[in-house]
A = this chain, B = another copy of it.
Amino acid sequence: MRLTTKGRYAVAAMADIAVHFAGAPVALSEVAERQGISLAYLEQLFRKLKSADLVKSSRGVAGGYQLFSAPSDIRIADIVSAVDEQIKTTACEAGSSLGCQGTTSRCLTHDLWDELGRHIDIFLNSVNLEDIIEKRVLGMAAVNTPTRMEKTLMGAIE
């Protein structure tokens, strides 16, 4: 999961549409003005959002975009992964340990970044557009940090 301003713009725009939807499609020009994002750039983003089935569009004079599903069914992870290209897996950072000798200290860090990635995924999958609109996001960082004993046990398993 990659995190750039592109993803942030996309989430902001989606939230904007969710908030301002009132039966009729919301035009990108409105979103552009409200969110301070250039129209042309937004169009790029929404093309991707559309092919990911996160929004649907209507053309013509009174056209625009609307959410494809209910806000509670659109997870932030969906939005971010729709607009941000997948990060290219460098050397030994791939999901599986291909070409990565587990014994060298180089790959000791492999698990770490894997785990962090999983962490981020879990978070972004646990938040949906409705949470954002209703401001229910704060205080969700209740990570269950293992005790030293638990860490030791986990290490022992491997």
- Cβ of B118 and Cβ of A132 under 8 Å apart? no
Name A144's contact: one of B36, B133, B143 (CB within 8 Å): B143
Q: Mark A107-148, 1 if CB is under 8 A from B, else 0.
A: 011011111101110111011000111111111111111100
The number of chain A residues with a CB under 8 A from chain B is 56
- Cβ of B145 and Cβ of A143 under 8 Å apart? no
6 A-B pairs (CB sep. < 8 Å): A8-B113, A108-B135, A111-B132, A111-B138, A126-B143, A136-B152
Q: Answer yes or no: A34 CB below 8 A from chain B CBs.
A: yes
* Distance from A4 Cβ to chain B, minimum over Cβ atoms (Å): 11
What chain B residues lie within 8 Å of A155 (beta carbons)? 134-136
Chain A, range 22-68, C-beta contacts under 8 Å to B: 34-36
Q: How far is the CA of A97 from the CA of B3 in the complex (A)?
A: 21
| Other 12 A-B pairs with CB < 8 A, given A119-B123, A122-B143, A143-B144 | A3-B116, A12-B109, A19-B105, A76-B112, A111-B137, A115-B139, A119-B120, A136-B151, A140-B145, A140-B146, A140-B151, A142-B144
Q: Answer yes or no: A96 CB below 8 A from chain B CBs.
A: no
- Cβ of A138 and Cβ of B154 under 8 Å apart? yes
* Distance from A108 Cβ to chain B, minimum over Cβ atoms (Å): 5
- Cβ of B112 and Cβ of A132 under 8 Å apart? yes
Chain B minimum-CB-distance residue to A142: B144
- Cβ of A136 and Cβ of B109 under 8 Å apart? no
Q: Answer yes or no: A104 CB below 8 A from chain B CBs.
A: yes
Chain B minimum-CB-distance residue to A17: B105
